[in-house]
Amino acid sequence: MRRRRVLIVDDSLTICAMIETLLTKQRDMEVVGVIERPEEAMAAVSRLEPDVLTLDLAMPGLDGLSLLATLMRRRPMPVVILSSAIVQDAEIAKQAIALGASACFDKSRLIANADRFVSIVRTARCGKVKVAAA
């Protein structure tokens, strides 16, 4: 069985480490990279060829929605939004889904709902929409 290749894009080292730990424990997943600067994400997608991307929306520089829009134009792929911004502003989640995100997940619930997050990443597909705040 081919493992699902995941690229993490988040400016928080703590969150990156948490996501990487959760996903590398899964036999069917492989974290192929961790990108802290959203400006570097497109080059990493081309270089690493992930199957799924986890993406924070609120980052310095290029914001997550702009990155998502660019990604979906250039290389459509499953993207799981992992951000506290979706709780603070539900409109952002709607925008992310409209741009092509596969799912949105509340970053603040990552530890409490780790199994659900892993399941969402595992089953993420282009065009499938889920909003998972809990």
The pLDDT tens digits of the residues spanning 43-52 come to 999 999 999 9
In this structure, are residues 45 and 5 in contact, taking their beta carbons and an 8 Å threshold? no
Query: Which class is 4-132 in CATH?
Result: alpha beta
The pLDDT tens digits of the residues spanning 107-119 come to 999 999 999 999 9
> With 70 as the cut, is the pLDDT of residue 39 above it?
yes
pLDDT at res. 89: 76
Q: Higher model confidence: residue 73 or residue 133?
A: 73
Which is nearest to 82 in space by CA: 98, 93, 73?
93
- The predicted model gives 81-94 an average pLDDT of 84
**Per-domain residue ranges for the chain?**
4-132
Q: How far is Cα 56 from Cα 68, in angstroms, rounded to an integer? A: 10
Burial of residue 79 (CB within 10 Å: 0-12, 13-18, 19+) is buried
The pTM of the full predicted model, rounded to 2 decimals, is 0.90
Which is nearest to 130 in space by CA: 108, 95, 101, 88?
101
